[in-house]
């Protein structure tokens, strides 16, 4: 009969909870929205956070906020669609202190159905949302294997597994993220590399506010309410809430969790009427 360890029976003993002390964490797209929330929370829980973003000014601002709060962080300009640039940045970070965790958060959205999605639009979404994650995982895995393991967390979306109107390219890309997550989790079990993904529903980020200003000027509050109530729970998620799940999945508390797509959807997938 299998016996559970005392540390699992009594989490208060020999346990650091969701702490990430001594861990170096790369967060792509870490300058705003969900990525920024993850960077802040991980730093508050002891991680050395490397904020990667194509927007260097915003990345530096996020890092300064973390430093002002007593955390440890650094900013790095990086275009995840450029494999050579990604490889160079990851090599630099590995030489500084290793790479323990990668959070693939960088991504872009697109509104349109099949017939209104141009080839250029389709390619751009895939360059960022799919190849960007591929480039970063490829660069990270090489270092994690040498160091005896690591954690990869990809940001997917309920759009990848549920039919959403006018999200053809975006949904397709996020479906690919989920599939990549399963594949990497399977292929690197023996290397002690865990890989999971989170699939949020609508999250209240600057993207949402900008979208409403652009497409519904003067009706922002009305349309925000409609979007919020399209989820059974009656509101959008907040970035900090996504970050809390990310912290668990990247911590040792989730050491038994790999190859899982976590819906984070306020009941959207299972409770829609």
Q: 47: burial class by Cβ within 10 Å (0-12, 13-18, 19+)?
A: buried
42-64: pLDDT as tens digits: 999 999 999 999 999 999 999 99
Residues 97, 24 contacting (CB under 8 angstroms)? yes
Q: Which residues of 115-137 are buried (b: 16+ CB within 10 A; e: fewer)?
A: eebeeebbeebbbbbbbbbbbbb
Token pair listed for 52: 């990667």
Q: Does domain 19-201+239-255 have CATH number 3.40.50.300?
A: no
As a whole number of angstroms, the distance between CA 180 and CA 178 comes to 5
Average pLDDT, the chain: 90
Q: Taking 70 as the threshold, does the pLDDT of residue 100 lie above it?
A: yes
Position 5 scores a pLDDT of 40
Position 9 scores a pLDDT of 35
Query: Which of the residues are catalytic?
Result: 170
Q: Taking 90 as the threshold, does the pLDDT of residue 273 lie above it?
A: no
As a whole number of angstroms, the distance between CA 77 and CA 103 comes to 16
pLDDT confidence tier of residue 164, bands split at 50, 70 and 90:
confident
Could you state, in order of their start, the residue ranges of all structural domains in the chain? 19-201+239-255, 202-236
Token pair listed for 245: 């799940």
> What's the N-to-C CA distance of the chain in angstroms?
45
Question: Whole-model pTM?
Answer: 0.90
């Amino acid at each position: 009969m299998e016996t559970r360890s005392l540390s699992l029976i009594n989490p208060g003993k020999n346990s650091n909870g969701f702490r990430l002390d001594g861990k170096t964490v790369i967060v792509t797209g870490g300058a705003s929205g969900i990525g920024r929330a993850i960077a802040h929370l991980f730093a508050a829980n002891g991680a050395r956070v490397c904020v990667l973003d194509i927007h260097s000014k915003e990345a530096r601002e996020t890092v300064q906020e973390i430093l002002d709060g007593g955390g440890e962080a650094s900013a790095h300009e990086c275009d995840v669609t450029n494999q050579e640039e990604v490889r160079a940045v990851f090599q630099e970070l590995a030489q500084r202190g290793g790479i323990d965790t990668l959070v693939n958060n960088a991504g872009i959205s697109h509104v349109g159905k099949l017939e209104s999605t141009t080839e250029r639009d389709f390619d751009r979404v895939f360059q960022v949302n799919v190849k960007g994650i591929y480039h970063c995982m490829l660069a990270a895995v090489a270092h994690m294997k040498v160091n005896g393991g690591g954690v990869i967390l990809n940001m997917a979306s309920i759009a990848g597994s549920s039919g959403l109107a006018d999200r053809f390219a975006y949904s397709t890309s996020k479906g690919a993220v989920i599939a990549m997550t399963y594949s990497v989790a399977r292929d690197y079990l023996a290397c002690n590399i865990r890989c999971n993904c989170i699939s949020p529903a609508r999250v209240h980020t600057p993207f949402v506010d900008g979208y409403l200003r652009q497409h519904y000027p003067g009706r922002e509050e009305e349309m925000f309410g409609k979007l919020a109530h399209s989820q059974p729970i009656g509101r959008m998620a907040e970035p900090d809430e996504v970050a809390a799940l990310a912290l668990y999945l990247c911590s040792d508390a989730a050491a038994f969790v790999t190859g899982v797509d976590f819906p984070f959807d306020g009941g959207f997938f299972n409770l829609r009427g």
